[in-house]
Amino acid sequence: MKFTHHTGWLSAPIILLLLTSLACNLPGRTAVEPTPLPKIPVSTEAVESLQKTIESAKDAFNNNQTVEITLTEAQLTSAAALELEADPDIPMSDPQIYLRDGQVTLVASLTQNQISVPLEINLELSTDDQGNPVYKIVTGQIGPLPIPENIMNRLTSRLDQIIASKSTVDNTQIFIESITIGDGTLTLRGHKR
């Protein structure tokens, strides 16, 4: 008798766990795993192509023409990877930049104290009435958790610096007319102020 009493006591938590897991797997309660995005290869050819695109746009810009630049995921990912390699103080590696559904998605590995966790940031880019680029961080995660506010503040501060430094060509301000994010491309259209 004591044996059955003991088994009943031990089986109650096990039955509860089984019922909970079954309830979580009922129709309508299943979580749909997002389709993983394809890995974007990093290459020096993509960076060279990006530099040529920017140089030809610079010539048109300096001749007071409206300029339209289309950048690809491969170009942006490769440029980000090479920049991270050159700056060992940034604790990120293996960046991937996706241009999908009107958003820029940065996926990378963040390493701190010998621990590496996945990082994902989704941005929306647009322009304001003065022709300045504007961004909005839609989501940010480190592993399964939201990015802490202090880290998010540092990221936005760094993004502000990058945007400010890239808003001029040969010390001349750029008026950005539009930013369009398509399936795998980002197109900027602008002219001299």
Asked if the model's pLDDT at residue 56 lies above 60, the reply is: yes
CA pair distance 2, 127, nearest whole angstrom? 75
Asked if the model's pLDDT at residue 162 lies above 90, the reply is: no
Asked if the model's pLDDT at residue 22 lies above 60, the reply is: no
Q: What is the pLDDT of residues 103-147, one digit of tens each?
A: 999 998 888 788 888 989 899 988 889 888 888 888 888 888 888
123 class by beta-carbon count within 10 Å (0-12 exposed, 13-18 middle, 19+ buried): middle
Query: What pTM, to 2 d.p., does this model score?
Result: 0.73
Task: Find where tokens 């503040």 sit.
Answer: 153
Asked if the model's pLDDT at residue 2 lies above 90, the reply is: no
What is the rounded average pLDDT for all residues in the chain?
77
Secondary-structure percent of the chain, ordered helix, strand, coil, rounded to 5: 40, 35, 25
Helix (H), strand (E), coil (C) string for 29-42: CCCCCCCCCCCCCC
Phi first, then psi, for residue 43 (nearest 5°) are -150, 150
DSSP type of residue 65: -
CA pair distance 67, 61, nearest whole angstrom? 6
From start to end of 65-169, where are the E strands? Answer: 67-72, 92-100, 103-112, 115-127, 133-142, 145-146, 168-169
Asked if the model's pLDDT at residue 26 lies above 60, the reply is: no
Asked if the model's pLDDT at residue 28 lies above 50, the reply is: no
pLDDT over 90 for what percent of the chain?
16
Helix (H) or strand (E) holding 46: helix 44-62
Q: pLDDT confidence of 5, banded at 50, 70, 90?
A: very low
Domain ranges of the chain: 1-32, 44-192
Residues forming beta bridges with residue 92, ordered by sequence position:
110
